[in-house]
């Protein structure tokens, strides 16, 4: 057994105390550990007492490290555990620290998941599939994932998906309806929306074009295609290549025919 002969507050960290046993420095503890074990000058400690105190102090250090990590933003249990493992804390200590954090309300995966869902909806307009992947990366269990994602209503999905579709239309105003629909499909798929939502959005989109619009678009896109094939083909072969390329981009056949006729006139002048 050993006797506590001196207790001093650390200069650089006033919430930690140095414990001296039999006139020699032995270990340091947080103020909470000091109070919990009633550490005072003259107290006798057995070896198992010291082991228990050190274990409790490790938990306190892990808890305080977690609070610092959580002070910047909300975190999942998985993120906190990884942070503590990287800091060198043992599994048992981490488990106790996490239990304490959960008990005091500093750590709650369901609350965290709901906040992440709302953030991804508002800032990135992500759909359920993409948000599910975000939750998986944060170590959220399947039951919590499902429970939180069920709050993302179909109407909310349609609203956000439509905003993305309208933004895509504005960004590609010089494209054909076929090209724009493909762009919308790419965006909504990448953002994690279902095919059901995608198809409903496409059904609602009004992408008709006036004759002047078609003429402007084919002049922009057709010139590039014409230059590409005119150096390799001529005559009927050239006409077929141009027709195929422009038709795949969604241009009506009559618009394509007019464009080819005009180009042939220009080339013969």
d(CA 247, CA 6): 89
Hey, which bits of 46-134 come out as E strands? none
The rounded Cα 149 to chain-centroid distance in angstroms is 14
Residue 243 near residue 256, CB atoms below 8 Å: yes
Q: Is residue 9 a contact partner of residue 44, using CB atoms and an 8 Å limit? A: no
Per-residue pLDDT tens digits for 175-230: 888 899 999 999 999 999 999 999 999 999 887 777 677 888 888 888 888 888 88
Burial class of residue 236 (count of CB atoms within 10 Å of its CB; 0-12, 13-18, 19+): exposed
Q: pLDDT of 62-121, one tens digit each?
A: 999 999 999 999 999 999 999 999 999 999 999 999 999 999 999 999 999 999 999 999
Handedness of CA 172, 173, 176, 177 (dihedral sign): positive
Topology at the third CATH level for domain 154-204: Arc Repressor Mutant, subunit A (1.10.10)
What's the confidence (pLDDT) of residue 7?
95
Burial class (CB in 10 A: 0-12, 13-18, 19+), 259: buried
pLDDT tens, residue by residue, 152-186: 999 999 999 999 999 999 999 888 888 999 999 99
Q: Where are the domains of the chain?
A: 2-103, 109-149, 154-204, 211-268
Residue 269 confidence (pLDDT) above 70: no
| 8-state DSSP, 54 | H
**For residue 89, which of 47, 58, 116 has the smallest C-alpha distance?**
58
pTM of the full structure: 0.78
Strands 24-30 and 16-21: antiparallel
Q: How far apart are CA 127 and CA 50, in angstroms?
A: 53
Rounded to an integer, what distance in angstroms lies between the CA atom of residue 80 and that of residue 11?
Answer: 29
CATH code for the part of the protein at 109-149? 1.10.10
Instruction: For residues 241 and 237, give the distance between their C-alpha atoms in angstroms, rounded to a whole number.
Output: 6
Instruction: Tell me: pLDDT of 130 over 60.
Output: yes
Does 125 score more than 70 pLDDT?
yes
CB of 186 within 8 A of CB of 202? no
Beta carbons of 163 and 146 less than 8 angstroms apart? no
> Residue 89 has what pLDDT?
96
What span, in angstroms and rounded, lies between the C-alpha atoms of 216 and 67?
60
pLDDT band for position 141 (cuts 50, 70, 90): very high
Distance CA 113, CA 203 (A): 32
Q: Under a CB-based contact definition with an 8 Å cutoff, are residues 130 and 96 in contact?
A: no
CATH topology of domain 2-103: Arc Repressor Mutant, subunit A (1.10.10)
For the segment 249-257, the average pLDDT, to the nearest whole number, is 85
User: According to the model, what pLDDT value does residue 251 have?
Assistant: 85
Instruction: Report the C-alpha gap between 188 and 254 in whole angstroms.
Output: 32
Q: Please say whether the dihedral angle defined by the alpha carbons of residues 29, 31, 33 and 34, taken in this order, is positive or negative.
A: positive
Distance CA 208, CA 234 (A): 33
């Amino acid at each position: 057994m050993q006797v506590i002969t001196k207790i001093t507050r650390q200069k650089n960290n006033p919430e930690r105390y140095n414990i001296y046993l039999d006139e020699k420095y032995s270990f340091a503890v947080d103020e909470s550990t000091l109070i919990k074990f009633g550490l005072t000058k003259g107290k006798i400690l057995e070896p198992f007492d010291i082991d228990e105190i050190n274990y409790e102090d490790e938990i306190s250090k892990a808890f305080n490290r977690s609070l610092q990590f959580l002070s910047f933003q909300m975190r999942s249990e998985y993120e906190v555990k990884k942070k503590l493992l990287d800091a060198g804390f043992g599994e048992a200590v981490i488990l106790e620290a996490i239990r304490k954090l959960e008990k005091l309300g500093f750590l709650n995966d369901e609350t965290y998941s709901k906040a992440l869902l709302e953030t991804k909806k508002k800032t990135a307009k992500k759909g359920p599939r993409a948000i599910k992947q975000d939750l998986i990366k944060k170590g959220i269990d399947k039951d919590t994932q499902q429970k939180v994602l069920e709050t993302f209503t179909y109407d909310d999905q349609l609203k956000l998906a439509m905003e993305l579709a309208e933004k895509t239309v504005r960004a590609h105003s010089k494209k054909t309806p076929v090209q724009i629909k493909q762009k919308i499909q790419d965006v909504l798929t990448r953002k994690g929306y279902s095919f059901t939502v995608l198809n409903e959005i496409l059904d609602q989109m009004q992408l008709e074009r006036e004759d002047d619009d078609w003429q402007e678009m084919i002049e922009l896109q057709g010139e590039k295609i014409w230059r590409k094939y005119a150096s390799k083909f001529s005559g009927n072969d050239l006409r077929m290549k141009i027709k195929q390329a422009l038709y795949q981009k969604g241009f009506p056949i009559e618009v394509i025919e007019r464009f080819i006729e005009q180009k042939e006139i220009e080339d013969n002048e």
